[in-house]
């Protein structure tokens, strides 16, 4: 394992704070914003993805084995998101999210769900969240170990609390930290170890 880790840490691996409205790729036929506008390191590509309208931690690497570990559902790598939703989920809704909801005929894996008492302090989004005076919003911390298409949005919608904003703050032991949208940094050796030796 140490030889494999040593070999992998020589290849470029980056943490990017992906901005809202940016695709998790380097080219787009429709000329929408892509990673090419933010990443100058050659030969890296996104390991996994964030939707166009999601923000936060995106890992980029030149290492195919690392990318496989990050995206293979068998590894059940935890991913942590802060999620703004419409209304305040009640105990029943929170339990449903924790135990699994049915999305397109498939039940999601158990998830760690926490209703935050105070909203987190984040940067403003370039496209403001829709505001309805009669509908309050709240924030959840959601940790999931799978990556179904638009999973979080479908999970919260299934329990009656549509998602307004998603920010990924961690993948395994890798944390977004204080990176601002569009900023990136290299992953450290200690951080890399958390991806191969547990958390």
Active site residues: 51
Is the distance from CB of 38 to CB of 22 less than 8 angstroms?
yes
Number of Cβ within a 10 Å radius of residue 72: 10
Q: Which of 110, 91, 61 lies closest to 70, judged by CA?
A: 61
Tell me which residue has tokens 């998790």: 24
Tell me which residue has tokens 């000329």: 31
Q: What share of the chain is helix, strand, coil (3-state, %, to 5)?
A: 25, 25, 50
């Amino acid at each position: 394992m140490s030889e494999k880790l040593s070999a992998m840490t020589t290849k470029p691996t980056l943490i990017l704070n992906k901005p809202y409205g940016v695709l998790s790729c380097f080219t787009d036929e429709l000329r929408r914003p892509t990673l090419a506008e933010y990443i100058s390191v050659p030969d890296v590509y996104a390991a996994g993805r964030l939707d166009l309208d999601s923000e936060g931690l995106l890992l980029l690497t030149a290492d195919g084995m690392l990318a496989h570990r990050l995206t293979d559902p068998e590894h059940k790598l935890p991913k942590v998101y802060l999620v703004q939703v419409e209304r305040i989920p009640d105990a029943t809704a929170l339990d449903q999210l924790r135990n699994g909801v049915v999305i397109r005929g498939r039940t999601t894996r158990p998830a760690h769900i926490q209703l935050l008492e105070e909203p987190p302090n984040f940067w403003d989004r370039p496209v403001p969240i829709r505001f309805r005076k009669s509908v309050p919003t709240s924030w959840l911390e959601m940790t999931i170990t799978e990556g179904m298409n638009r999973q979080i949005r479908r999970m919260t919608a299934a329990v009656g609390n549509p998602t307004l904003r998603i920010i990924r703050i961690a993948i395994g032991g890798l944390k977004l930290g204080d990176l601002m949208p569009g900023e990136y940094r290299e992953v450290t050796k200690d951080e890399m170890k958390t991806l191969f030796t547990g958390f």
